[in-house]
Every structure is written in C-alpha cells, then in structure tokens.
Amino acid sequence: MRSTRPLSWLLSLLTAAALAACGGGGDSPTAQASAAPSAFSLNVDLAPGVATVAQPSFHTAAVDLDEPDNGAAPHRALALSGVSTRGLTRERLDDALRPRALASGGGAAPMAASTAVTTYTPAQIRAAYGQPALPASMTGLSAAQAAQLGAGQTIYLINAKHDPNIAAELATFNAKFGLPACSSRTLAATASLPLAAASASGCELVIAYSTTAGALAAAAPAYDSGWATEIALDVQWAHATAPLARLVLIEAPDAGVGSLSNAVALANKMGPGVVSMSFGAPEGNWTASYDGSFSTAGMSYLAATGDNGAAVSWPSVSTKVVAVGGTTLTYSGSGARSETTWSGTGGGTSAYVALPSYQSGTIGGYARRAVADVAFNADPYSGQYVALIAPGATTTRWVSAGGTSLATPQWAGLLAVANAMRVASSKSLLGQPHAALYLQIGAVPTQYASAFKDVVSGSNGSCAGCTAKVGYDTPTGWGTPNVGALLTSLSGATTVSGGGSTPGTAASRPALTTTSLSGVAGKAFSGNISYSAPGATSLSITISGAPSGMGFSASSSGLAVNWANPVAGRSSLVITLKDNLGQTTTGTVTVTISNN
C-alpha cells in the first residue's frame, strides 16, 4: 500500500513574458416565533431595506447667477456663506436670499459673509478633462466623429418624482451652450420593449414613468422640487458629455429603494446602455438583495457615492456598480486642470459587502468592498451651470450645481462614448467595466498614468483612510479621467459580458488546461500540467493531495511533475492558481499510475 501525505507547494512565477505566452448598517432579517403548545409560526422579511428612502445627491451654491456668457474663462461670483448647499433648491435659495434683499431696500444686498464660487460651462469642462471640442455642425460627421459624441448609444437616468419642464430646460441649456438639440417624447404605458435602436445621428430625450413594480405607467409621478433639480442636472450633463446619445429619463413614483431598483429593472428591459443613478441611501445588510437589478448583459451601472463625507451608500456599494466620487476642480479655461478631494464626497469601506475580485488584486488594505471607483468634479463652489424652470413658469434660473450626482451622469456619458467607439470598431459593449478600470488600467502603471489624473490631496473626513493618496483611495477611487487616453483604453478593453457575471469570472481568471496524467509503476514518471493566466504578470500555485516522493517545478510551459518511483494507484492533485490580479481558480488533476 502506498503512503501519502498532505503536501502544499507555493511556486511564484515572476516571468511576465512567459505567462503572457501561456495565453453601511441595517438590521438583519428577522424571524419571530409565536409560542403555541405544539407548533410555532415564522415571519421572515424577504425584502429587507424595501422601506428605506434614497435621497438625491445634488448640491448647489447659494448664488443667484446671471445668464451664462459662454466665454472662454469660467464665471466667478460670490456665494452666500452659512447656507447649506446640500439639496439647495431654487425655492430654498430664494428664501435664503430674500432677507438680504429686504435689508438693502430691495436692491442687491451686500454679502459680507461670502464664498467664492466658480461655475463652468460644458465647453470648459470638456477642455479641462480632455474631451474633444464639439464640431461646429452635427451634419456630415464621420462615423468616428459621431462615435466620440455617443451616437447610437443610450443613457438611462434613474430618478424619483417628476420634472414637468425637463424638455424645456434641456432645450434652453442646449441653445445657450451650442449643444445639439434633442427631440423629446413620452413613452406610452403600452409601448413594446425593448426600444428600437437609438439614432446614429441625433439626440432624443425619452421620458418614461415607472410603477413601483417597474412597469411602464401612463401618469407622471408627483412634482418634487429637489428631485426636479436632480433630474435637470442629470439630463443636461449627460447630454453635454455624450451629445448624440439617446437619453431615457425614468421617473419612479417614489424614492423608496424598492421603487428605484425596479426603475433600473425597467431600464434593463429597454435595451443595452449605461444606467446613471444620482441618489443614495445608507448601506445595510439588505443591499446585496438588490444586486439582481445590476446584472443584465450589455448594461453598465453607475451611482453617486453620496455627499455625506466618509460614508458608504447604496447603490454605489454594489460590486456591480461603478461608484463615482467627487473632487474640487480648478481650471482657468486653458492649460492643465488641478483637483483636490471635495470634502463632501462619499466613500469608504463597506461594512457588509465582500471585497470583489477586481479590487483584491489591485488595491491593498481593504477587507471589504471599497468605494469610490472613480471621480469627477462635484464641489458646488467649482460648480457647473444647470438651467431650471419652475412649474408654470417660462423664465430660466441658472444655478451652480455640484454633488457626486453631477459627477455620475458625466461618467455615464463617457462610458456611452466608449461603447459607441467600440461599436464603430466592431467590438461588443463594455458591460460592467470594473475589470477594465482596475485590471487593465489601474494595475498597469503606464495605462493608469495616461488614463487618469491621480488626485493626491484633500480628504472627506478624519478617518485613517479619508485622505487622498498616490494611487487608489476611497474618496476619489483611481482619480478623474484624462478623457482621450481613457476612451482609447476602454474602447479596446476586454469586456465582461454581464448576465450576472462579474469581473474576475472564468473568462479572465487563470485556468488549468490539463485534467489528467498517467504513468507506470516502477518507471520514473514525468508530466506537465498546463495552465493559462491571461493578462497576469505573476502566478502563485498551491498543490495539495500529492503522494510521497512526487515533486514539482515551474516553467514557462507549465507545472512539471516528477516522481522517481511511482506507486500504482490514483492521486487527485488539488491545484489553486492565483494571479497577481487577485483572481483565483481551483481545479483537480488526476494522476493514474498503472501496474507494470
């Protein structure tokens, strides 16, 4: 009888060329028992968190802006200090400004307590982040030019409540800043889904009303000034970033996470695209129960990290959602931009969601899901113009908007442009882009330095991880986009197909390509176990279940197995491959030794 012993081998392969050749808090669900002589009953909450209400994540500076002049330099003004910018609507701004106007006899009141505010136009934001300038005319564009404007792609903007003037606000915004005009229509409750393909040459705004269950509704939800402000900035800045993409605004009847999650599910039924969610609720142990809404093939999902400083919120905490944090932008209108962490941006380490594979191999020191993934300008004092029209009014008011809710639709627009460029090159849609962002860009120093501006200053709190640093950090993720290089990387990136899969699935993990070996007892045995490790630069191999006397060595062609005096019988080698990207695969190789 042959003797066996457990054996664990760790082989580190540091030859990149050789490998390339190989190819927050909530209550737990409760069960309550009702005492009875011989039986009991259970009440189990199968939809935890459903009563939680999400909030829009916008901020506006307390300043009454003049109509934009659309010049080369950003507009600078003084904003009233001591007024919270969080969710500051037009009505609340008027209430804050009224006492100063009354004190000055109805004229412009002096603002001794004031804060400087800079407000950027779409052209200035495009220039600051390296997007190409808009062409003078949208007619006669080449396919490549149209793709750089998001042509043929769809951006879904998920919100609660209703903005009755969204089409008029967008038209005003477009006319002021020379953006393409958009046709608009409201989707009938009887409309068939999925939608027809988006136009390859023009913008369309489609408004859809969702029921709480995620079906199309005939009636608009109730008006809410806060959500209407959120809707306006989402639509206008998604369009500014991807001017030829189709915009589908889905309005949920309320802000409950169940209704909003079902509105995302409605978007999934409408066809492939990019989903933007500029809202959040504090995370809990219920958050993963909604991940099914973020699992459809051909869809990318993005969400604001929130504006409460160092904190983690749903839906950005989902491992299937790109979490977008915020910065404070400084840009003169020419030259390079500079950025620091916006003090209000959300971000941190989840208390509930496990560390995803795309993070485990690329960022260190995090026990669970870390957010943000990426960032964009979000400080209302380095804000961006938004046009607002009150219900029943025709006069446009301009505000300096910010918040991670402003950053999110712009990142959604960038992914829509990347998708358009991929389609123009006969590639599939990005789907969930985490693998590309972390493994193909963040983990490769030259790609990272080109595609991202690393934000290395500022903080969103006083915790140990609240301060921005070189490389990845939770306030700003990998940083803000250098758009030209980022789109070049994403438009050629390997995709994750979706359908419930996540980055790090079998398509990109290391793989065993040998499942069995055989030899003869008493005759020296040698064999090779082949494997592949796509995109990796090193690989760790752990083997268990090897019999006494069996040895291993690593080579560029695989794992060499040697046994000088093999004993008849069958051995099952359990082999675990872990690459430097943090992706792991375990498989079994059967070694059969027959009698002489």
Q: Give per-residue pLDDT as tens, 269-292.
A: 999 999 999 999 999 999 988 999
- The pLDDT confidence band at residue 576, using thresholds 50, 70 and 90, is confident
- The pLDDT confidence band at residue 113, using thresholds 50, 70 and 90, is low
**pLDDT more than 90, % of the chain:** 64
**pLDDT for position 33:** 32
Instruction: Provide the token pair at 418.
Output: 């990347």
Does the pLDDT at position 2 exceed 60?
no
Give the lowest-confidence range in 147-161, 312-326, 505-519.
505-519
**pLDDT for position 50:** 61
494-515 mean pLDDT: 51
**pLDDT for position 64:** 85
Query: pLDDT higher for 361 or 211?
Result: 211
Query: pLDDT higher for 23 or 475?
Result: 475
Does the pLDDT at position 112 exceed 60?
no
522-543 mean pLDDT: 77
446-457 mean pLDDT: 96
Domains belonging to the chain, first-starting first, are 9-23+509-594 (2.60.40.10), 67-134+142-491 (3.40.50.200)
User: What is the residue type of 119?
Assistant: T
**pLDDT more than 70, % of the chain:** 84
Q: How many C-beta atoms surround the C-beta of residue 388 within 10 A? A: 26
**pLDDT for position 538:** 63
Three-state DSSP class for 357?
Answer: helix
- Quick one: DSSP state of residue 62? S
- The pLDDT confidence band at residue 498, using thresholds 50, 70 and 90, is very low
Does the pLDDT at position 343 exceed 90?
yes
The predicted-structure confidence for 377-436, as pLDDT tens digits, reads as follows 999 999 999 999 999 999 999 999 999 999 999 999 999 999 999 999 999 999 999 999
466-477 mean pLDDT: 97
Does the pLDDT at position 298 exceed 60?
yes
Does the pLDDT at position 97 exceed 80?
no
Q: What angle, rounded to 10 degrees, do the helices at 225-241 and 404-424 form?
A: 30
**pLDDT for position 30:** 33
**pLDDT for position 51:** 66
**pLDDT for position 564:** 92
**pLDDT for position 82:** 82
**pLDDT for position 220:** 98
Backbone Cα Rg of the chain: 27
Burial 524-555 (b: 16+ CB within 10 A, else e): ebebebebbbbbbbebebebebbbebbebebe
Does the pLDDT at position 206 exceed 50?
yes
- The pLDDT confidence band at residue 514, using thresholds 50, 70 and 90, is confident
- The pLDDT confidence band at residue 509, using thresholds 50, 70 and 90, is low
**pLDDT for position 426:** 94
**pLDDT for position 281:** 94
Q: What is the rounded distance in angstroms from the CA atom of residue 111 to the CA atom of residue 1?
A: 93
- The pLDDT confidence band at residue 5, using thresholds 50, 70 and 90, is very low
Does the pLDDT at position 502 exceed 90?
no
**pLDDT for position 284:** 92
Q: List all residues 6 or more positions away from 142 whose beta carbon is below 8 Å from its beta carbon.
A: none
Does the pLDDT at position 179 exceed 90?
yes
- The pLDDT confidence band at residue 222, using thresholds 50, 70 and 90, is very high
Cα-based torsion angle of the residue sequence 468, 485, 180, 382 in order, rounded to the nearest 10 degrees:
20
The predicted-structure confidence for 115-125, as pLDDT tens digits, reads as follows 899 999 999 99
Please, what is the Cα angle at 260 between 151 and 258, to 5 degrees? 150
- The answer to whether residues 510 and 578 touch, using CB atoms and an 8 Å cutoff, is yes
Closest to 252 measured CA to CA, from 267, 239, 244, 262: 262
Prediction pTM value? 0.76
- The pLDDT confidence band at residue 167, using thresholds 50, 70 and 90, is very high
Average pLDDT over the chain reads 85
**pLDDT for position 49:** 62
How far is CA 569 from each of CA 319, 469, 523, rounded to the nearest angstrom? 45, 56, 14
Closest to 80 measured CA to CA, from 101, 62, 102, 107: 62
252-271 mean pLDDT: 96
- The answer to whether residues 284 and 49 touch, using CB atoms and an 8 Å cutoff, is yes
Query: pLDDT higher for 113 or 548?
Result: 548
Closest to 341 measured CA to CA, from 466, 238, 498: 466
**pLDDT for position 516:** 87
**pLDDT for position 45:** 41
302-323 mean pLDDT: 96
Give the lowest-confidence range in 32-41, 112-121, 153-162.
32-41
